[in-house]
A = this chain, B = another copy of it.
Amino acid sequence: MPEATVARLPVYLRALSELSNERITTLSSEDLAVLAGVNAAQVRKDLSHLGSYGVRGVGYEVDYLIRQINRELGLTGDRAVAIVGVGNLGRALANYDGFRGRGFEIVAAFDADPEKVGRSIGAIPIEAVSTLTEVCRRRKVAIGVVTTPKNAAQEVTDRLVDASVVSILNFAPVVLQVPAHVTLRQVDLGVELQILGFYERQASGLAAAGGGREALDAG
């Protein structure tokens, strides 16, 4: 299964779930393409990796497709998630309601600040980072979310790896070093803004190099 396809399936799933709520039962690859912001051929090729679940001349059945994607993404049992670093962002994620019902459950939150340890965010008690490895191992944490300051990120990542966590989502503005068997995804607000800044500058005609370069884009 191509990496690019894996990255799009959740987007399809999101769109399909909304259609399902609206009692829409069938849609074409073209419909789904518009909802997901991609090409229709792309949709058909992606879905073909799940098997041949469409009906020629008709389209795809919404609920059935949802089940197939869920199956492929493995959203069957709940996955245990730990949040490391309870700053503004950590709190925001902990309160995010898109976890449960999508197959994820936050089972632990850690912080280095003794002031915070013992308090809780929602129903989740904040524990000391010193206990991270043991607690994560015990609660079978599958996914670690790193929202610490950048100086602490690599250290807590090492501890997560020690606890056999093989999937890490990092919000700290550093490139983490992890063993090859660990899947890492990086979200960096500053980087996103700088990328946008580049295109914004192009669009406003203030490009640095050479003469008037025509820039356009539609991510």
The answer to whether A195 and B74 touch across the interface, beta carbons within 8 angstroms, is no
**Number of A residues with CB within 8 Å of any CB on chain B:** 77
* Complex CA distance for A142 and B198, rounded to whole angstroms: 11
Q: How far is the CB of A41 from chain B (nearest CB, A)?
A: 18
Q: When each residue 191-207 of chain A gets 1 if its CB lies under 8 Å from chain B and 0 otherwise, what string results?
A: 11111111111011010
Binds B, one of A9-17, A53-61, A123-131: A9-17
Q: How far is the CB of A99 from chain B (nearest CB, A)?
A: 8
Q: When each residue 1-42 of chain A gets 1 if its CB lies under 8 Å from chain B and 0 otherwise, what string results?
A: 101001101110111000000000000000000011100000
The answer to whether A181 and B203 touch across the interface, beta carbons within 8 angstroms, is yes
Please name all residues of chain B whose beta carbon is closer than 8 Å to the beta carbon of A209 when the two chains form the complex: 1, 72
A197: contacting residue among B104, B180, B186, B188, CB under 8 A: B104
Check: A136 CB closer than 8 A to any chain B CB: no
Check: A102 CB closer than 8 A to any chain B CB: yes
> In A59-106, which residues have CB < 8 Å from any B CB?
71-75, 79, 81, 87-89, 91-93, 95-96, 98-99, 102-104
Binds B, one of A109-117, A155-163, A166-174: A166-174
Please name all residues of chain B whose beta carbon is closer than 8 Å to the beta carbon of A152 when the two chains form the complex: none
Per DSSP, chain A at the interface is mixed
The answer to whether A216 and B183 touch across the interface, beta carbons within 8 angstroms, is yes
Please name all residues of chain B whose beta carbon is closer than 8 Å to the beta carbon of A96 when the two chains form the complex: 88-89, 189
Please name all residues of chain B whose beta carbon is closer than 8 Å to the beta carbon of A167 when the two chains form the complex: 196-197, 199-200, 203
Check: A143 CB closer than 8 A to any chain B CB: yes
A37: contacting residue among B72, B175, B218, CB under 8 A: B175
8 smallest CB-CB distances across A and B, nearest first, come from: A88-B92, A74-B201, A10-B194, A167-B196, A183-B199, A10-B191, A167-B200, A98-B190
Give 17 A-B pairs besides A73-B194, A98-B189, A187-B192 with Cβ atoms closer than 8 angstroms: A1-B209, A7-B195, A11-B175, A14-B188, A75-B194, A79-B200, A89-B89, A89-B92, A102-B193, A104-B193, A142-B197, A142-B204, A143-B196, A169-B193, A180-B214, A183-B200, A184-B217
